[in-house]
Amino acid sequence: MANHIGIVAACRLTGRSRATRHRHLHPKEPTEKPNHPRSAPPQALSPTERAAVLALMDSPEYAELPPAQIWARELDSGRYHCSIRTMYRILAAAGQNGERRRQATHPPRTIPELVANGPSQVWTWDITRLPGPVKGI
């Protein structure tokens, strides 16, 4: 009992909790979690169903639409394949989870280059970027 009172007094003086002291003196051994893969849920789509949904989303009719619109149009037609989130997962697994619309590609902009071979051939108000006969001049 006297030892217990000494420990309590020492903990008060140092500002340390008795529980912290106890945890440091008697640490728990880390428990190993089983490292086995999770089984697929019973309602998960089969690989053939996933391929069919991906083919549907890649069809010309739906190629430029987001999964939410594809899901809504298919539901309006009376067909339910999977949830919107599952469509996003299928696209992510196929590496197609970016922008689905066609993106405009513009040609690189050409900057006009003014070259003078003699005096009074090129007039400009700013000569800081005007190339000369030798680089840097």
Token pair for 137: 């001049």
Q: What is the pLDDT of residue 127?
A: 63
Q: What is the pLDDT of residue 130?
A: 64
Q: Which tokens belong to 32? A: 């190993």
* pLDDT band of 79, cuts 50, 70, 90: very high
Task: State how far the Cα of 91 lies from the Cα of 54, in Å rounded to an integer.
Answer: 7
Spatial distance between the Cα atoms of 32 and 125, rounded to a whole number of angstroms? 75
* pLDDT at site 64: 87
Two structure tokens written together for 60: 């010309």
Domain spans, the chain: 47-93
pLDDT tens, residue by residue, 53-65: 999 999 999 988 9
Confidence band, pLDDT 50/70/90 cuts, at residue 35:
confident
- pLDDT attached to residue 16: 85
Other CB atoms within 10 A of residue 36 CB? 6
